[in-house]
A and B are shown apart, each in its own frame.
Chain A
């Protein structure tokens, strides 16, 4: 698979490490909240696991060390969109 890095252009997926769904960006914010145990359980263990488009986190370990949010079809392996995780995170109102 070729991942089209927003800054570096097309790179072989071998240079990356896969983490999992992009939902992992949304770590529950406050562990002191009521029900946070359930929130963390859902965050840590439960997966959407869709057949079709899947937003997922890839880490460019053998490159510029950036985290990417890759939209990839789990039925065809076709990659339709690649964004910097930093940008996605900012749009969600997280991070700096």
Chain B
């Protein structure tokens, strides 16, 4: 790495020398006149991770990441920061397990403190049928070496006395936990990958909106941007949330609807919740940030939108889910709420694939599970962009899977754009 590494010694040294030695975390670049081997459209977590792994794993460093606004200003900064790999289906579970393994080594790899906290995630179980389904899922997790733990009601109550165990409608029967799950400081993920990629020679170009693709004879030769035309050997779109809008410029329609997901954080409270807890009978997930705020979310609003704000009925729905399992949350005041735009695919699973246009690739459809996938998404997308072949854990994420009847129906409810 060209830059001095971050370390405790460095902090001490800078503290004693007036903090004059710190440099910008990454290099703010302008487009090169002769273009790039690979252009990544979208400077979010997935795009920056893709650029980093292209450079690190495949030695492809003549790469630009184009970002319409500023890096990390989209969904990587608008989520509930949860990481986990508790999936059921073979098309998904190995991918998310790779992601969790990359999270576990992320900070050492990037030399950047992303505050990866494996505090555990606990899914509450409210009925006998749900217990059977969760035990099946737990077995799938064990097969993938993801690890899991079945927790009896007595122990759930001991660990979290604030839970309403005997709620008349949604009694808590037990829980399935993944102790390796947890939370990560989301902005640091974008900054850490940006620093890693930039150090390896990647150009990160902000305030550079892609306005069109140069496509001739079915081959993508580059992009038109607000900073002029940029030539590229290969273009990888990675703009979940705006996939519909960007891919439309290349004339490609997707099996995706854009929806808004709201998230919430309360005022800072004393430590009460040392892991991530999810409500199994409704939709509510909650963790406590290091600043003390309870960070929580629930369902999408449920209608197509590109507005980064939601409506009040879903606020009520999410909060009533919270009240059902932990009535004490009613005493906490909401500090902030926000909305992010999700690529809702038709089966709740993502896409990492080539497209009908040569040299144009697509990564998107993350529904509202994209944050946890960031490292593996970048890892597998880089693999695809470098080798033309899907990574072995991402072979199911094909754009034509619906045409072939090979959907990844994690929830078992058929095609509808409201799954995750």
Contact = CB atoms under 8 A, between A and B. Distances in A.
Contacts of B306: 51, 74-75
* Interface range on chain A (Cβ under 8 Å from partner): 20 to 34
B308 to A, nearest CB: 10
B305 interface: yes
Interface stretch (B14-22, B248-256, B370-378): B248-256
Interface stretch (A26-34, A40-48, A83-91): A40-48
Interface string A11-25: 001100010110000
Interface string A32-59: 0000001001001111111100101000
Interface of A: prevailing SS: mixed
A8 interface: no
B305 A45 contact: no
A94 interface: no
Nearest to A72: B303
A47 B244 contact: yes
Given A45-B402, A47-B244, A51-B244, A77 B257 contact: no
A58 B403 CA distance: 27
B415 interface: yes
A65 interface: no
Given A20-B417, A41-B402, A44-B415, A49 B303 contact: no
Contacts of B402: 41, 44-45
Interface in B281-336: 302-307, 311, 313
B40 to A, nearest CB: 22
A65 to B, nearest CB: 19
Contacts of B307: 74-77
Contacts of B304: 20-21, 49, 54, 56, 74
Residue among A18, A20, A45, A76 with the highest chain B CB neighbour number at 10 A: A45
A51 B259 CA distance: 11
B245 interface: yes
Contacts of A76: 307
B303 A56 contact: yes
A45 B303 contact: no
A13 B346 CA distance: 24
Contacts of A13: 303, 311, 313
A44 B257 CA distance: 12
A86 to B, nearest CB: 21
B258 interface: yes
Interface residues of B, number: 21
Contacts of A51: 244-245, 258, 306
Contact of A18 (B244, B258, B302, B415): B302
A47 B255 contact: yes
A1 interface: yes
Nearest to B309: A77
Contact of B253 (A18, A38, A47, A74): A47
A45 B346 contact: yes
Contacts of A14: 313
A46 B345 CA distance: 10
Interface string B392-403: 000000000011
Contacts of B244: 47, 49-51
Contacts of B254: 46-47, 49
A51 B256 CA distance: 13
Contact of B255 (A1, A45, A74): A45
A76 B346 CA distance: 24
A14 B417 CA distance: 19
Nearest to B343: A49
A56 B258 CA distance: 13
B256 A74 contact: no
Interface in B167-219: none
A27 B302 CA distance: 22
Nearest to A52: B306
Contacts of B302: 18
Contacts of A21: 304
A21 B257 CA distance: 10
A92 to B, nearest CB: 21
A58 B307 CA distance: 19
A38 B402 CA distance: 11
11 contacts: A14-B313, A18-B302, A20-B417, A38-B403, A44-B346, A46-B253, A47-B417, A49-B244, A51-B244, A51-B245, A72-B303
Given A20-B304, A45-B346, 10 more contacts: A13-B311, A14-B313, A45-B255, A47-B254, A47-B255, A49-B258, A49-B304, A74-B305, A74-B307, A77-B307
Please name the 5 residue pairs, one residue from A and one from B, whose CB atoms are nearest each other, closest first: A49-B244, A45-B255, A45-B402, A18-B303, A51-B306
Interface of B: 244-245, 253-258, 302-307, 311, 313, 346, 402-403, 415, 417
